[in-house]
């Protein structure tokens, strides 16, 4: 399962951090990603069990750019 995560600031932010949390609030994955020309980053969630996850996108300074929920079935 790969999730394409669109950054609202577009391709202008070169690097960003994607952090994935489970439904208990525990961080289960962190990755630094570089956006493509459209401002999208791809994260592979295939190693996570079924459940509800929150994905936080931050810039290199730690400012939250976006938060989304993902349900893996």
State the CB neighbour count (10 A cutoff) for residue 60: 11
Is there a contact between 48 and 30 (Cβ–Cβ < 8 Å)? no
Question: What are the backbone dihedrals phi and psi of residue 72, each rounded to the nearest 5 degrees, phi first?
Answer: -100, 125
Q: What is the pLDDT of residues 32-73, one digit of tens each?
A: 877 677 767 778 888 999 999 999 988 778 888 888 899 999
Instruction: Output the pLDDT for position 34.
Output: 74
Instruction: Output the pLDDT for position 8.
Output: 60
The CA distance from 29 to 27, in Å, is 6
Instruction: Output the pLDDT for position 40.
Output: 72
> What pTM value is reported for the model?
0.76
Q: What is the pLDDT of residues 1-41, one digit of tens each?
A: 556 666 565 555 567 888 999 999 999 999 887 767 776 77
State the CB neighbour count (10 A cutoff) for residue 65: 15
State the CB neighbour count (10 A cutoff) for residue 35: 21
């Amino acid at each position: 399962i790969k999730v394409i995560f669109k950054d609202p600031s577009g391709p202008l932010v070169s690097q960003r951090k994607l952090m994935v949390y489970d439904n208990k609030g525990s961080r289960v994955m962190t990755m630094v990603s570089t956006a493509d020309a459209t401002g999208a980053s791809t994260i592979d969630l295939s190693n996570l069990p079924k459940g509800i996850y929150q994905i936080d996108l931050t810039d290199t300074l730690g400012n939250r750019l976006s938060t989304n929920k993902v349900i893996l079935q």
